[in-house]
């Protein structure tokens, strides 16, 4: 068992609630990931499926595709398995670094908030690149750091406030919207 697996196993039961509190605009980010998906992929990989929230959206968007969902946590992947029919999605417990990725086997790889957990990113990204078919897509949802140091600091402080209490921070949303309009 890895440290990542151990950590996520301990929070599995409350993960969805945690995600909504700890990741500002989480549901909006998931909708944007799905909106950016190309038409027609046959073989999809989701890295870091968690409890299956994005997995469910991917399966719904591409009902004819084969979907493999990976997560390092055995407990959390069991929750995802309970959400989705086995005939639609295959699940595997693995660290990303240990994945066997056959060359040119994927049309689409999607991930949301998972890739920072990879210790050695370079070798993994090379293997992932080799696993993608020509014209394949890699869709990543993540929270960027502010382009301007002060806005990044304000966003970080608001994120901490948001993560510590249920609900949402209107001030954070207003600042995000302002920085987007200002081209930051």
Q: CATH: 3.40.50.300, 3.40.50.720, 3.40.50.80, 3.40.50.150. Which one for 3-141?
A: 3.40.50.150
How far is 61 from 15, CA to CA, in rounded Å? 23
Q: What is the pLDDT of residues 2-57, one digit of tens each?
A: 666 677 767 777 777 777 777 777 888 899 999 999 999 999 999 999 999 999 99
What pLDDT is stored for residue 154 in this prediction?
73
Q: How far is CA 123 from the centre of its chain?
A: 20
β 132-141/106-112 pair status? parallel
Phi and psi, residue 183, nearest 5°: 80, 20
Q: Where are the domains of the chain?
A: 3-141, 149-181
How far is 88 from 111, CA to CA, in rounded Å? 18
**pTM attached to this predicted model:** 0.75
Burial of 35 (0-12, 13-18, 19+ CB in 10 A): exposed
Q: What is the pLDDT of residues 106-140, one digit of tens each?
A: 999 999 988 877 878 889 999 999 999 999 999 98
Helix (H, G, I), strand (E, B) or coil at 145: coil
In Å, what is the CA distance from 80 to each residue of 12, 93, 167? 10, 11, 24
């Amino acid at each position: 068992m890895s440290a990542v697996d151990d950590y996520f196993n301990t929070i599995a039961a409350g993960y969805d609630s945690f995600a909504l509190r700890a990741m500002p605009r989480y549901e909006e980010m998931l909708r944007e990931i799905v909106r950016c998906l190309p038409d027609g992929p046959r073989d999809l990989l989701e890295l870091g499926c968690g409890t299956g929230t994005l997995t469910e959206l991917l399966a719904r968007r591409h009902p004819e595709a084969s979907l493999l969902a990976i997560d390092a946590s055995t407990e959390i992947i069991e929750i995802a398995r309970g959400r989705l029919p086995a005939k639609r999605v295959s699940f595997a417990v693995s660290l990303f670094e240990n994945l066997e990725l056959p060359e040119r086997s994927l049309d689409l790889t999607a991930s949301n908030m998972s890739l920072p957990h990879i210790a050695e990113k370079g070798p993994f990204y090379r293997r992932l690149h080799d696993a993608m078919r020509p014209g394949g897509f890699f869709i990543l949802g993540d929270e960027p750091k502010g382009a301007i140091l002060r806005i990044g600091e304000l966003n970080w402080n608001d994120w901490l406030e948001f993560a510590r209490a249920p609900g949402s921070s209107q001030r954070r949303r207003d600042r995000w919207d302002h920085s987007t309009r200002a081209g930051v």
